[in-house]
Amino acid sequence: MNDLSDKRTAAVHFEPDDQVDRLKSEILRKLTYSLGKAPAAAQAHDWLTAGILATRDHAIDVWQASTKESYATGRKRVYYLSLEFLIGRSLADTLNNLGLTEPMTRAMRELGVDLPEIETIEPDAALGNGGLGRLAACYMEAMASTGVPALGYGIRYDHGLFKQGIENGRQIERPEDWLSFRNPWEFERREASYRIGFGGSVAASGPDQVVWTPEETVFAVAYDTPVVGWRGRDSTTLRLWRARAMHPLSLDAFNKGDLVGAVAERNRAEAISKVLYPNDSTPAGQELRLRQEFFFTSASLQDLVHRHHRQFGSLDNLAEKAAIQLNDTHPSLAVAELMRLLLDEHKFNWEKAWEITNATISYTNHTLLPEALETWPVALVERLLPRHMQIIFGINARFLDAVRRRSPDADLASLSLIDEHHGRRVRMANLAFVGSHTVNGVSALHSNLMKETVFAQLHRAFPERITNVTNGITPRRWLLNANPGLTRLLQEVCGEAVADDIGLVRQFGAHADDRAVQERLAAIRRDNKLRLAKVIQQDCGVVVDPEVLFDVQIKRVHEYKRQLLNILETIALYNAIRSEPYRDWAPRVKVFAGKAASNYTTAKSIINLINDVAAVVNNDITTRDRLKVVFLPNYNVSLAELIIPAADLSEQISTAGMEASGTGNMKFALNGAITIGTLDGANIEIGERVGADNIVIFGLTADEVEIAKRNPRPSAEVIRATPHLEGVLDAVAGGAYSPGERDRYAQLVEGLRLNDWFLVLRDFESYHQAQRRVDALWADRARWWQMSVANTAHCAWFSADRAIGEYAERIWHVPAGQAARA
């Protein structure tokens, strides 16, 4: 690391003015020689690209030093396989981590450019759906910040998650196009390109060996992006694969005048990396999705095996030098693909290949929703990946044999990698579980539920395998960058070093009663709310007062996340305010944002209802000062960065037992919002840390939900026992909020009346009461700020650095360079 630390020292010793001058000339060089633009003719996007290219040069210095160091020392490396990386924008975070925010801002200003303004035109890289993808992005940054050598492997989708528009209250999807003007952060690596086979036939060539002759071959080409960690000490690499055809044009077809046929192979190949599937927590099921999964898994494994072999000359020590983490089951085929490479290409026998595979791979589960568990028809896998299907059968036979020998009464049917009941399907979770040395859940509750429910039988067979690593978020993006006001206050109170060691925010807790601190906090929050209010006015045409309580629910729209509970309670509140206008209701704005999968009819109907309720409420002068409802379109990482620091109340109201962890909950709490939530996922751990007095908990527990589902109470009975609910449901079902189409929500409400699967009705009263406790807390503003301080002060533990530290120590067995422990 010597040359690197020298460089850093050199940077530190630059006089600020020199540094600004240097950056100015770097930007101008990029503008002139990389973009071919004269400053006088440069547009905002030219300045942005020039700024990114100048910043990227600094990132490259760090990156090359990191890579060199990890090669020179032969350290173990982490390979994080994820079909999703929800990156968002990169410029502001990279500058901040490099310590260049201030000099770059000045350099741009002296060139006549407003940096924060041009930062907002950087495309928001949305190569992910939600929590799982954002977690992967946080972990790439946290590994860079804590000195864990790592490569993230994924797909370079031409089109990320769709853009959401709201038209007449309804979600419409528009294609996303982040690559349309090139991506200045990435490097194409022609030399890192691999052949990915599909279909064809297999022929035995040795005791465990087979020759697979694919019918179709596609190229995977690597695109690398550096991810710089805090203070530019280290960097990880995001390596995304793009699909290219072997033969981009068939001249035969072309010469015959068949222009479509001439590019057919190319279109079929390139379709693989064309678009992200917009499903969150539900499998897509199409063949193209399986092709995507195999494509990126195979490219990544070929790459890491090739690099390992080049570096160490043998694969015997793969597990000592490589830890492969599977981000959910999308890369489960890694188990079979690694076996194939070891058996067929490197001629290991089965036992040795299995030992290496199992010692190298580990798997994270992100959801227990039964409909989310991926399975693929055996017939499809057999046709697309004949060799892998053989290997999966081989693994299964040996595994079931071993279990049978050890425990003759084991439930083999549920352990099997093959589900024999639904037309024979490969269970990707069982494949990942059996192929891994460690399997983890993402919160304490979730990991326990894994043992009791979906993985109960596998857990009995491998009682040591399941462990927990509660999720974490990077405090650089979600606190330092998103909330500079709060960061400044924390640095004054806890010392500058809080940016290096987030654990120091603990000291903030001692100032919970300090009036001056409370006033500062209130002023910071007000500024953040003003910024958000501007966007609300622009995007929703609604004027909101920054003095009222900002009550926020932002996340994918899903029945289990219960946006429906929130909006029904909002209607009850609206009715109550109208009937008792002079009671001391806490004036609020209800902020919603989130996308629904394009084929998820119920979720889309919920979005429609929120917008319809907003239209009625926002136009009612009797509730004008008390209640507003807004739905911000096109929720993404950048919008989250704007909304979270402006939130007073964080809605984390999933049906208990269904939200594996949540990570938004952590971002809000660290920024000082109060959580109203169920005892679900990481809410429980947030409650344990901030204390029961500093969180508002309601609703059935996971155990009670379990019982309630086994003995459901008829909805009619629940409705009868719940004040106000009947009126709310009747109004919605009868078209009070959709006068132009009276039966628009008839089905939605009928669904609840028939089967309250997500316990929206059951938890309604408890939620309503919890909201009245929020009203009372808000009325006592000193108490509110006390709670807010406690939340910030006790949430450092949710730093991704802590989570990565746990993975490094307990799962990957890699020494973290400077893992910060909160």
The DSSP bridge pattern shows strands 150-155 and 235-245 to be parallel
The DSSP bridge pattern shows strands 77-81 and 322-327 to be parallel
Which residue, 266 or 810, has its beta carbon nearer to ligand NBX? Answer: 810
Please tell me whether residue 806 binds ligand NBX under the rule CB under 6 A. Answer: no
* Closest by Cα among 638, 609, 617 to 88: 638
Subset of residues 429 to 458 that bind ligand NBX, contact rule: CB under 6 A: 442
The DSSP bridge pattern shows strands 125-127 and 85-88 to be antiparallel
**Cβ neighbours of residue 605 under 8 Å, at least 6 residues apart?**
744, 745, 747, 748
Min separation Cβ 443 and ligand NBX, Å: 8
Q: Which member of 50, 132, 439, 731 binds ligand NBX (CB under 6 A)?
A: 132
Q: How many CB atoms lie within 10 A of CB 10?
A: 9
Subset of residues 260 to 299 that bind ligand NBX, contact rule: CB under 6 A: 279-281, 283
Which residue among the candidates 30, 242, 667, 744 is catalytic per the annotation? 667
Please tell me whether residue 331 binds ligand NBX under the rule CB under 6 A. Answer: no
Which residue among the candidates 663, 675, 722, 792 is catalytic per the annotation? 663
Show the DSSP H helices in 453-562 as ranges: 456-461, 475, 484-494, 515-540
Contact flags string 458-497 toward ligand NBX, x per CB under 6 A: -------------x--------------------------
Min separation Cβ 342 and ligand NBX, Å: 28
d(CA 31, CA 25): 10
Q: Which member of 51, 103, 123, 131 binds ligand NBX (CB under 6 A)?
A: 131
Please tell me whether residue 662 binds ligand NBX under the rule CB under 6 A. Answer: yes
Which residue among the candidates 556, 558, 626, 794 is catalytic per the annotation? 556
- Active site (annotated) includes residue 663: yes
- Active site (annotated) includes residue 667: yes
- Active site (annotated) includes residue 531: no
Min separation Cβ 667 and ligand NBX, Å: 11
Which residue among the candidates 330, 340, 511, 561 is catalytic per the annotation? 561
Which residue, 98 or 136, has its beta carbon nearer to ligand NBX? Answer: 136
Min separation Cβ 537 and ligand NBX, Å: 31
Subset of residues 665 to 684 that bind ligand NBX, contact rule: CB under 6 A: 681
d(CA 552, CA 652): 9
Min separation Cβ 138 and ligand NBX, Å: 9
d(CA 164, CA 162): 6
Burial of 384 per CB tally in 10 Å (0-12, 13-18, 19+): buried
Q: Compute CA distances 522 → 508, 545, 584, whole Å.
A: 15, 14, 21
Min separation Cβ 566 and ligand NBX, Å: 17
d(CA 326, CA 361): 7
Which residue, 103 or 664, has its beta carbon nearer to ligand NBX? Answer: 664
Count of residues that interact with ligand NBX, criterion CB under 6 A: 21
Residues 737 and 613: beta-carbon distance below 8 Å: yes
- Active site (annotated) includes residue 77: no
Using CB under 6 A, which of the segments 93-101, 128-136, 222-230, 265-273 binds ligand NBX?
128-136
* Closest by Cα among 274, 8, 58, 135 to 681: 135
Min separation Cβ 283 and ligand NBX, Å: 4
Which residue among the candidates 163, 330, 366, 590 is catalytic per the annotation? 366
d(CA 45, CA 117): 11
**Cβ neighbours of residue 791 under 8 Å, at least 6 residues apart?**
669, 670, 672, 673, 674, 675, 690, 694, 695
d(CA 549, CA 646): 10
- Active site (annotated) includes residue 555: yes
**Cβ neighbours of residue 249 under 8 Å, at least 6 residues apart?**
262, 263, 266
Please tell me whether residue 140 binds ligand NBX under the rule CB under 6 A. Answer: no
Please tell me whether residue 367 binds ligand NBX under the rule CB under 6 A. Answer: yes
How many alpha carbons fall within 13 Å on the CB side of residue 113? 26
Which residue, 126 or 442, has its beta carbon nearer to ligand NBX? Answer: 442
- Active site (annotated) includes residue 366: yes
Per-residue buried b or exposed e for 262-278, using 16+ beta carbons within 10 Å of the residue's own CB: bbebbebbbebbebbbb
Residues 612 and 631: beta-carbon distance below 8 Å: no
Which residue, 662 or 677, has its beta carbon nearer to ligand NBX? Answer: 662
Q: Which member of 106, 233, 366, 762 binds ligand NBX (CB under 6 A)?
A: 366
Min separation Cβ 438 and ligand NBX, Å: 16
Q: Which member of 48, 54, 135, 431 binds ligand NBX (CB under 6 A)?
A: 135
Tokens 């909101």 identify what position? 544
- Enzyme catalytic residues: 366, 555-556, 561, 663, 667
Q: Which residues bind ligand NBX (CB under 6 A)?
A: 130-132, 135, 279-281, 283, 328, 366-367, 372, 374, 442, 471, 659-663, 681
